[in-house]
Structure 1
Amino acid sequence: MRIIVQKFGGTSVANEEVRKLVVRKVEKVREQGYSPVVVVSAMGRKGENYATDTLIGLARSANKNIAARELDHIMYCGEMISAVIMASTLQASGMDAVMLTGGQAGIITDDQFNRARILKIDPKRISSLVKAGKIPVVCGFQGVTADGEFTTLGRGGSDTTAAALGAALMAEMIEIYTDVDGIMTADPRMVTNAQILDCISYGEVCQLAHQGAKVIHPRAVEIAMQKNIPLMVKSTFSDEPGTLITNISEGDHGGTIVTDRIATGVTCLNNIAQLRIDVYPEESCTASFEVFKLMADNHISVDLINVHPGQIMFTVSGEVVERAAAELQRHGYQAAVTYDCAKVSVVGGGMREVPGVMANFVEALAVKHIPILQTVDSHTSISALVKKEDVQAAVTALHEKFGLAG
């Protein structure tokens, strides 16, 4: 069997007109000799009747502290409605489609409600349907525990479902359909001359996603990378070729490696706060351990970590900064807090061991008189903390400096 997994996001299944476009995408794959396995998200976006956020709001109107288990049950409904409607639409077009929940598709997870991790997939049921010429339409975002409890996979879970099914079924390709024509060099709402990338490596797109880009979830990319299955991000609303995610460039022409380019994209994360704690230099090691253990014990994620003799610096989400500062103070640490920050990042697999990349990064911001509050870097990214009011100018300046406008 030559299988392609096709995942359609909420805007791709939101109404009858758009679902007709999905039918054409499925038909095209069949005409090319592939067996499609369709994965769908809940219909529409927040505010629309069957969107996941709408269902969450409904549940929390009854109890704002609804238990995680019960919340998973109502979140399950969005994808089930979407999958039934999409399967029925395919059936009305003459295709033999079968709707499956995540559990019926063989997706077994741990018992972490609202953020479950996939433990294994039993692909036998889907495989038998495909062999019989049927088109499975699977609810994204969901699974079941070994003892039958409903679970959901957290934000981006439908991407993860598609990638995991692709890996389990040894698919030739995983297609992620959305409302944009592919992965862009920057958010087009911030950078008007942002470009569609023809091709990008697994590692680069993971970095972009972790640093704020929202086109595809990094967990999905990591799963596909394990099996070396190419992903294609493209639009339901056009016939543009989209962005290929793989280890090598489009078509493997001459074996050109994607990561030869220095920079691939610029992205940002907003609503960040910086905490700075001054300690006696001789106590830095002990204090660092105590501070980060406090954050871990209180389930507070930290980023942009810099530890020096006499000072500890890190960032947290603006949503938890008050709780973080209060816990530190309760244990004898006084944190100076800088609110309303953003993290801007340049990502590129080709920046490793290239002299001058950091100089270019700093110069781009300096020319625009944008203060850098903190930096961190890796082999594939450079990030800086800036004030919220500077983020638009910072992203634009970095996009221009690294030649991403085409």
Structure 2
Amino acid sequence: MRIIVQKFGGTSVATSEGREKCRRRVTESIEQGYRPVVVVSAMGRKGQPYATDTLLDLAGDLVGERELDLLMSCGEIISAVVFCRTLREEGYPCVALTGGQAGIITDSSHTNARILRVVPERLHRELADGKIVVVAGFQGMTADGEITTLGRGGSDTTAAALAAALKAELAEIYTDVDGVMTADPRLVPEAQVLTRVSYQEIMEMAHLGAKVIHPRAVEIAMEGQIPLAVKGLDGQGNGTLIGSYHTVTADRVVTGITHLKGLAQFILRFNDEDLSLVVFQRLGNAQISIDLIQVNPGLIAFTVLQSAAEKARNVLGDLPMEVEVRSGFAKVSAVGGGMRGVPGVMARVVAALNRVGVRIHQTADSHTNISCLVEESDAEKAVRALHDEFNARAK
């Protein structure tokens, strides 16, 4: 049995016109000889009745995380049932399943659960009966039967996990852009769709700010060696294929430019060297994620999301050190497997930003990316400068 998993986002299934486009994608896969499993997100965006953020607003501040999961799971369940109706109107047999009914078993971390395993027997039975299976994304169930949700990007993760469990030939992620771009096209109009990207590169890009696909979904697909395709619902092309590809060529040092806004920079100054360990332990115990970490004798610098800045300051407030917090930063990154072992890439990054008057406040690098902390007001200019410098384009 040739299985394909197709994931459709909330805006795609929000209207009857959008659902009809999704239906055509599903029936195209059937015509190509596949048995489709469909994953859907909650319909629409914030302000629309069944969107996740709208459901969160209904709950307010007095509802616990367990009850929040019960509420938030409803949006995807409604979406699955409505899309089943769209398929049945055209004569296609189908069944709508919750994440738990589809066999997705998670840990008990409500509102941000992690998938432990997928038990695919029900899915296999329904497919063998000739049905299209429509699964509510973003959710699962604990071994004790409690409903959980998977956090932001959870429907992507659902699709990848089901594809891996079913040993699908392909998982398709449909979005409102034509694939993974060399940069955000809103900032760089000449940005192009990447035709092929390695799992490692796309994970880097996703972690560093590209919002087309969730990094956990890529991680699961890589572990299961499931090819991922990121496509536009309205696009005619093949989108971006993600897999175990060797994308490094002599003229592709950098694959793409990403950016992430809304960061705060912490600079800590102290005399007691033993405080370094205490700082990192406290931040870790408080579940505060830090980035762009720089450690020198008597000084630590790092960044956090602006939304976590006050919590981080409070966690460190009683330590004998000077704590300076600067707001209004963004991280701009050049990502590419082609920079591994290539001298002079950092020099090109610095020169490109200097030419357009962008001040670099902090840097970090690995074998496959270079990230610069810049003022948020300079982020767009920095993205365009790096995209021009490395002539990032689809190959």
Letter in structure 1 aligned against 2:266 = L
Deviation at 1:386, TM superposition (A): 0.6
Deviations 1:309-342 (A, max 9, x none): 1211111111121221232221222211111111
Cα offset, 1:259, TM superposition: 2.8
Tell me by how many angstroms 1:267 deviates: 0.8
Q: Secondary structure at the match of 1:11?
A: coil
1:42 and 1:51 in contact (8 A); partners too: yes
Aligned AA (1:365): L
Q: How far has the Cα of 1:111 moved from its partner?
A: 0.5
1:7 aligns with 2:4: no
SS class of match (2:155): helix
Kindly provide the CA deviation profile for residues 123-170 of structure 1, in whole angstroms up to 9, marking residues without a partner as x.
000001111111100000000111110000000000000000000000
Give distance in 2, aligned partners of 1:179 and 1:266.
19
Offset at residue 294 of structure 1 (A) = 1.3
- Match of 2:195? 198
Letter in 1 for 2:89: A
Counterpart AA for 2:368? T
Output aligned runs, 1:251-290, within 5 Å.
257-260=246-249, 261-280=252-271, 283-284=272-273, 286-290=274-278
Tell me the distance in 1 between the aligned counterparts of 2:306 and 2:352. Answer: 26
2-structure distance, mates of 1:353, 1:187: 27
Q: Which residue of 2 aligns with 1:118?
A: 115
Contact 1:201 1:259 in 2 (8 A): no
Please state whether the residue corresponding to 2:11 is helix, strand or coil.
helix
Match of 2:179 among 173, 182, 201: 182
Name the counterpart of 2:16: 16
- Which letter does structure 2 place at the counterpart of 1:22? C
Q: Which runs of structure 2 are paired with 1:3-402 in the superposition (5 Å)?
A: 3-60=3-60, 64-248=61-245, 257-260=246-249, 261-280=252-271, 283-284=272-273, 286-402=274-390
Q: In structure 1, how many angstroms separate the alpha carbons of the residues matched to 2:276 and 2:318?
A: 16
* Cα deviation 1:42-77 (Å, max 9, x = unaligned): 0011111111111111111xxx24210010011010
Given that residues 346 and 398 in structure 1 are in contact (C-alpha distance below 8 angstroms), is that contact kept between their aligned partners in structure 2? Answer: yes
> Secondary structure at 2:148's aligned position in 1?
strand
Would you say the 8 A contact 2:270–2:322 is kept in 1? no
Q: Distance in 1 between matches of 2:78 and 2:321?
A: 50
Deviations 1:27-49 (A, max 9, x none): 11111111101110000111111
AA of the residue aligned to 2:248:
T
The CA deviation string for residues 63-109 of structure 1, in whole angstroms up to 9 with x for no partner, is x2421001001101000100000011101111101000000000111
Residue by residue over 1:205-252, the C-alpha shift from the partner in whole angstroms, topping out at 9 and shown as x without a partner, is 00010001100000000101011110000011222211000112xxxx
Aligned pair count reads 392
> Secondary structure of the residue that 2:86 maps to in structure 1?
helix
- CA contact 1:270–1:388 (8 Å) conserved in 2: yes
Aligned-residue offset at 1:405 = 5.1
Question: For the residues of structure 1 that align with 2:94 and 2:235, how far apart are their CA atoms?
Answer: 24
Instruction: Read off the aligned partner of 2:275 and give its amino acid letter.
Output: A
Runs of 4+ in structure 1 displaced over 3 angstroms?
Answer: none
**SS state of the match for residue 82, structure 1?**
helix
State the secondary structure of the residue aligned to 1:73: helix
Secondary structure of the structure 1 residue equivalent to 2:311:
helix
* Kept in 2: contact 1:116–1:151 (CA 8 A): yes
Structure 1 portions without partners, runs of 5+: 249-256
Superposition TM-score, scaled by structure 2 size: 0.97
Measured in 2, the distance between the counterparts of 1:22 and 1:326 equals: 47
Range with bigger deviation, 348-357 or 332-341: 332-341
Contact 1:247–1:258 (CA<8 Å) still a contact in 2? no
Gaps of 5+ in 2: none
Amino acid across the alignment from 1:390: D
> Letter of the aligned partner of 2:11 in structure 1?
T
Quote the RMSD (CA, aligned, Å): 1.0
Corresponding residue SS for 1:46? coil
Residue type of the alignment partner of 2:184: D
Distance in structure 2 (CA, Å) of the matches to 1:238 and 1:377: 35
The letter for the 2-side match of 1:272 is L
SS in 1 for 2:197: strand
Partner-residue secondary structure (3-state), 1:220: helix
Structure 1 residue 178: Cα displacement: 1.1
**8 A contact 1:12–1:18 mirrored in 2:** yes
Q: For the residues of structure 2 that align with 1:59 and 1:327, how far apart are their CA atoms?
A: 28
- Asked if structure 2 preserves the Cα contact closer than 8 Å seen for 1:7 and 1:162, the reply is yes
The DSSP-based 3-state class of the residue aligned with 1:403 is coil
Query: Among the aligned pairs, what percent are the same residue?
Result: 56
SS at match of 1:126: helix
Letter in 2 for 1:33: G
Looking at structure 1, the residues matched to 282 and 62 of structure 2 have their Cα atoms a distance apart, in angstroms, of: 25
